[in-house]
Amino acid sequence: MPDILPEAPMSIDSGELVRWYAHAQRDLPWRRPGVSAWQILVSEFMLQQTPVARVEPIWLAWIDRWPTPSATAAAGSAEVLRAWGKLGYPRRAKRLHECAVVISAEHGDVVPSDVETLLTLPGIGAYTARAVACFAYGARVPVVDTNVRRVVARAVHGRADSAASVRDLDDVAALLPADATAPTFSAALMELGATVCTARAPRCGLCPLSRCQWRSSGYPAGTVVRRVQRYAGTDRQVRGKLLDVLRDNSSPVTRAQLDVAWLTDPAQRDRALDSLLVDGLVEQTADGRFALAGEGD
Ligand code: SF4
């Protein structure tokens, strides 16, 4: 009786994916030739939790104005917060500015290329460090965002989706091709999740993968419950309204000027303002008015 060999774990055919990426990738400005590691890093900061369409114009204006870490470092905090515009989560702008200061002062104005050093920089976590090492320097490292996690959950593990796990990096590292196509494979995996294998309605008819465990299992229902993030009425919205007032004024404003930005719930407005002060995005002048960080003198 012939031996029954254990079934090989499902993998992803890197050739299929890389060939698809060659013609299907979106033409994004930070992917074009000549874009520096710093400019790629800026795009990664901006793309955290913000869609490509909103990032693109802000990124283009940003790198035109501040093409290097030292140029960004030389800008004032308030200028940086203004240029961040309505990208949201403005703490990212502050951290990006701090990151620019460290790179220009301690790394010769050159973005470090290794993950360990990148992880020491302000605002850079596990995802961004590996994304910069991979996309700017071609490092063979696993890059795991929600899109990648979802594609791997479906194609490899036969699950509809997957919550973040400490095993994610090892899981994706095991899929990386051993040759020089590894960085392209990483970019392609992310692109597939962003454009084809989307969370709500995967377009399997356009998928380049000939093998997908979730598809071949008949699309079993998922168990991961995703909360839909509300924006209207949240403290985030109120913080944004208060920052809008400060961005529109080049000199400090009174409390009354801020108060009219959110009349719905004064307690919520106070809480939002306190949090902006604690985050260092807003400062108070000696006479009690309010300004963007760096403009309160
Ligand atoms: S076949 Fe469908 S579910 Fe599977 S990876 Fe492709 S798009 Fe995603």
The pLDDT of residue 130: 97
238-291 tens-digit pLDDT? 999 999 999 988 889 999 999 989 988 999 999 999 999 999 999 999 899 999
- Give the binding-site residues of ligand 1, using a 6 Å CB cut-off: 151, 154-155, 196-197, 202, 204, 207, 209, 212, 214-215
30-88 tens-digit pLDDT? 999 999 999 999 999 999 989 999 999 999 999 999 999 999 999 988 999 999 988 98
CA of 25 to the centre of ligand 1 (A): 17
Domains of the chain: 14-137 (1.10.340.30), 146-177+192-217 (no CATH), 235-292 (1.10.10.10)
Atom of ligand 1 nearest to the CA of 196: 7
- The pTM assigned to this predicted structure is 0.87
Closest protein CA for atom 8 of ligand 1: 197
Residue with tokens 């992310």: 190
- Number of other residues whose CB lies within 10 A of the CB of residue 256: 7
Residue with tokens 């020491």: 120
User: H or E element: which one contains 223?
Assistant: none
Exposure string of 5-43, with b = 16+ CB inside 10 Å and e = fewer, is eeeeeeebebeebbebbeeeeeeeebeeeebbbbbbbbb
Atom of ligand 1 nearest to the CA of 202: 7
Q: Is 98 tagged catalytic?
A: no
The pLDDT of residue 9: 55
Average pLDDT, the chain: 92
- Tell whether the model's pLDDT for residue 5 goes beyond 70: no
Q: Which of 7, 16, 44, 283 is catalytic?
A: 44
CA angle 266, 272, 277 (to 5 degrees): 125
Q: How confident is the model at residue 294 (pLDDT cuts 50, 70, 90)?
A: confident
pLDDT top residue among 37 and 231:
37
CA of 207 to the centre of ligand 1 (A): 6
The pLDDT of residue 233: 86
CA of 110 to the centre of ligand 1 (A): 39
- Tell whether the model's pLDDT for residue 8 goes beyond 80: no
The pLDDT of residue 6: 46
Query: How many angstroms separate the CA atoms of 269 and 262, rounded?
Result: 6
CA of 204 to the centre of ligand 1 (A): 5
Q: What is the DSSP letter of 206?
A: G
166-218 tens-digit pLDDT? 888 999 999 999 999 999 999 999 999 999 999 988 999 999 999 999 999 99
Are 237 and 272 in contact by the 8 Å Cβ rule? The answer is: no
